[in-house]
Amino acid sequence: MPTGTKKKDTSKKSNKRDSQEVVRQRLYDFKDEVHTVGRKTHERVRKGDFTYDNWFYRTFGVIGPLFSSVFGLLVLLFFVWILENSALFLGSNILFALHDFIYANMEILFLMLLFFSYTSYFSRHYPKIYLPLSPIVKAISATVFLWIVAGAIEAINLYKGNDVLNAIALFIDSSLPWLFAFFVFVGYIILILKLLIDKPFYRDEIEAEEKSRNVSQTSAAKYSPNRLYRSGTDRVLGGVCGGIAEYLGIDPVIIRILWIVATLAWGAGILLYIIAWIIIPRNPKDGW
């Protein structure tokens, strides 16, 4: 056999072995990452520390609070529908009154959902700025709760005609500005005391939040800036959407939304994600 033919055969065998090794490595990475996700999820569920809001905001970014508010509105509309049908079935004037109160204030309640969703997002991403504002946010929460209670009492009292309930509702309504100021004052007193007594706790908490947002990258020998990789720094499961976003130079939230739309519209998004998780290599510059 000519020498050239032997070299070609050896080269083909070598390339075949390399390809098999690459496939074997990708499958091993996939198995290892799936196992890691499952183990972390199991630990969080076992400890009762499954932080859904962290996962949700990390996945959808600044659009996440809007999605959660719309979902909350849908849940509220479903609750209103249940109230209406229950009131018709039971013939209860009280349930009708609650239904009317919620339905009449649906826009205000949706704005409140937006406010609280974005303050939650803001508190996790900018803890240093949020900390001095937290008493005001908590005061708004308490004031809104009292406003809802007063409105529900007034709605029920239209059918009950109870003087005590009427007096309670009127007192809460007329005192909301003063109650808000009181909650703010007490909130800042508590915050100052906690900072003085337990200052290391707040410092550690803020540092932990900042570290969780820092990008930790390690140098790697083999790296091509023009190649598609899975992201190890911006990932929820396998880093597929984050890697595509880094490759295209766009926000990963856009890729995730498109992937969800594809999953809901054509049903193949999950399968495509798993395939991409296996065949797209890890970014060697990221810590895995």
What would the DSSP string read from start to end of 105-140? THHHHHHHHHHHHHHHHHHHH-HHHHHHHHHHHHHH
pLDDT value, residue 217: 43
pLDDT value, residue 218: 43
Same domain, 240 and 193: no
Domain limits for position 265: 225-288
Same domain, 98 and 192: yes
- The residue assigned the tokens 């050239």 is 4
Same domain, 63 and 202: yes
| Separation CA 181–CA 207 (nearest Å) | 31
Same domain, 90 and 153: yes
Cβ neighbours of residue 135 closer than 8 Å, sequence gap 6 or more: 183, 184, 186, 187, 188, 190, 191
Within-domain flag for 237: yes
| Separation CA 77–CA 83 (nearest Å) | 10
pLDDT value, residue 255: 78
Cβ-based neighbour number of residue 282 at 10 Å: 19
- Of 211, 245, 267, the one marking the end of a domain is 211
| 3-class state of residue 99 by DSSP | helix
Same domain, 176 and 75: yes
pLDDT value, residue 221: 47
pLDDT value, residue 215: 43
Within-domain flag for 216: no
- Of 211, 238, 273, the one marking the end of a domain is 211
Same domain, 134 and 264: no
Same domain, 205 and 240: no
Same domain, 144 and 230: no
Token pair, residue 10, equals 């050896």
pLDDT value, residue 178: 92
What is the CA 287 to chain-centroid distance, rounded?
Answer: 23
Same domain, 67 and 171: yes
pTM of the model: 0.54
Structural domains counted in the chain = 2
pLDDT value, residue 156: 74
Q: What is the largest CA-CA distance in the chain?
A: 109
Same domain, 135 and 112: yes
Task: List the chain pLDDT tens, one digit each, 288 residues.
Answer: 555 555 555 666 666 666 777 777 777 777 777 777 777 666 665 655 555 556 666 667 778 788 888 888 998 899 889 888 888 888 777 788 788 888 888 888 899 889 888 888 888 778 888 888 888 998 998 898 888 888 878 877 776 667 777 788 888 888 889 999 999 998 888 888 877 765 554 455 555 555 555 544 444 445 566 678 888 777 777 788 888 888 877 777 777 777 777 776 666 677 778 888 888 888 777 665
What are the residue ranges of helices labelled H in the chain? 3-47, 52-60, 64-90, 93-104, 106-125, 127-160, 163-197, 199-213, 240-248, 252-266, 269-279
Same domain, 168 and 243: no
